[in-house]
Amino acid sequence: MISFAQRLENQGYADLRAVEVSTLQLNLGWRCNQSCKHCHLQAGPDRPEQMALATIEEVIRVVADHKIPVADLTGGAPELNLHFEYLVDKLRQLGVHVRCRSNLTVLLEPDKEFLPAFLAERGVELICSLPYYQEEMVDRVRGKGAFRKCLDALNRLNRLGYGLDGSDLELHLMYNPGGAFFPPPQGPLEELFRRELSRRWGVSFHRLYTLLNMPIGRFGEFLHRSSNYASYMGKLAASFNPATVPGLMCRSLLSVAWDGRLYDCDFHQALNLPLAPGLPQTIEEFDHSILAARPIRLEEHCYGCTAGSGSSCGGRIVGQ
C-alpha cells in the first residue's frame, strides 16, 4: 500500500498545511460512562485522564485572545469533567459557539440530570452519538441498555426544544458503522433515521452526520482480532478521494488534549502523535499565526478521512 504522504504528494499536496484555526477541539478527558467498541481513545469509566482547571483557564485565555469562533468539546464524555459547566459558561460569555459531543447516556447519570436544561439555556450545539435507529445494533456497539437510555435522553432534549423544526437549539446525530464497513451515504441515511426515529420513537433531530471508524484504538484491535485489518486498510486506500483533501478537518481545527498538548486531530492524539517538531506543542505555547499555517502530520490512518465522501467530525466532506 502506498503511504498516505506519498499519495497526497502525487495529488499535488506535498506539503499539506492548515489554512486557519477556526475550531479548537478540546478533549476534556478520556473518562466516559461507556466503553464503546469503536472508541479510538479507548475511553471508559476507569480512565484517569482529565483536563485540569489550570489547563482550562489557559484554553479560555487562548480562545479570548485569538477570538477563536468555535469550541468543540469532546472526550471521553466531556460532561464528566469537573469543570465542564465552568468552561461552557466562560466560553459562552466570550460569545464562542460551543459544540458538545455527547454520548447521550451521560445525561441520565444521577448527578448529571440538570445538564439538558443547562445546555439549552446556554444554546450549546449538541452532536450526539447514535450508531443506528434500532436497539440491537446500538446495544451491540455501546453496551446493553444503551439504546433505551439514548431514546430517553433524546426525548428530554426534544422537550426542551432541541432538534425541533425551526429551533435554534441544534441537535445533530453522529452515525458510525457497527463494524468493519464504511458508512452509508449521509443524505439517504439521514432520511432513513429521520423517518424511523420519528415513526418508532417520536424523536426529532436536525442533521445526521456519518463518521468512518478509524483503524485505531478499540476498533483497530477489533480489526486485528477479526482478521479484517488488511482488507479494511486496503479498502480505505483504494477509496482515496482527492476531492476531500481541501476540506480535511485538520486544516481548520486544532486538537487540545486533556493535558494541554496540541495535535492535528483527536486521532493523532489517541496515538500520541504530536505536532511536527518546532511547532508550539502545548496550549501555553499557542501561537495563532504559526498554528494556522502549520504543516499537517500525515499518517496511514489519515486514509480514514479521505476515503469515499471523506469523513470528519462534521460528517462527510464531499458528495451525497
Partner 1 sequence: MSHYYEDKDLERFQEVGKYRADLFDNFMNYYQGVMGAGGALTVREKALIALAVAHTVQCPYCIDAYTRVSLENGSNLEEMTEAVHVAAAIRGGAALIHGVQMQNVAAKITF
Contacting residues toward partner 1, per CB under 8 A? 132, 134, 136-137, 177-179, 181-185, 188-189, 192, 231, 320
Helices (H), 25-145: 53-66, 84-93, 115-121, 135-142
Q: How far is the C-alpha of 276 from the C-alpha of 18, rounded, in Å?
A: 12
Which residue, 10 or 320, has its beta carbon nearer to partner 1? 320
Pairing mode of beta strands 70-74, 97-102 = parallel
Which residue, 93 or 198, has its beta carbon nearer to partner 1? 198
Which residue, 95 or 188, has its beta carbon nearer to partner 1? 188
For residue 192, the minimal CB distance to partner 1 (Å) is 5
Neighbours of 134 (CB within 10 A): 12
For residue 53, the minimal CB distance to partner 1 (Å) is 43
Which residue, 107 or 223, has its beta carbon nearer to partner 1? 223
For residue 307, the minimal CB distance to partner 1 (Å) is 12
Which residue, 186 or 204, has its beta carbon nearer to partner 1? 186
For residue 290, the minimal CB distance to partner 1 (Å) is 40
For residue 43, the minimal CB distance to partner 1 (Å) is 25
Which residue, 66 or 235, has its beta carbon nearer to partner 1? 235
For residue 181, the minimal CB distance to partner 1 (Å) is 5
190, three cell numbers: 439521514
Q: What dihedral angle (degrees, nearest 10) is formed by the CA atoms of 107, 109, 114, 120? A: -10
> Would you call 236 helix, strand, or coil by DSSP?
helix
CA-CA distances (angstroms) from residue 270 to 267, 284, 312? 5, 20, 15
Residues 6+ apart with CB under 8 A from 267: 40, 214, 216, 301, 304
Contact 21, 264 (CB under 8 A): no
Which residue, 136 or 285, has its beta carbon nearer to partner 1? 136
For residue 131, the minimal CB distance to partner 1 (Å) is 11
> Would you call 265 helix, strand, or coil by DSSP?
coil
Taking the CA of residue 314 as centre, how many other CA atoms within 13 Å lie in the half-sphere pointing to its CB?
Answer: 15
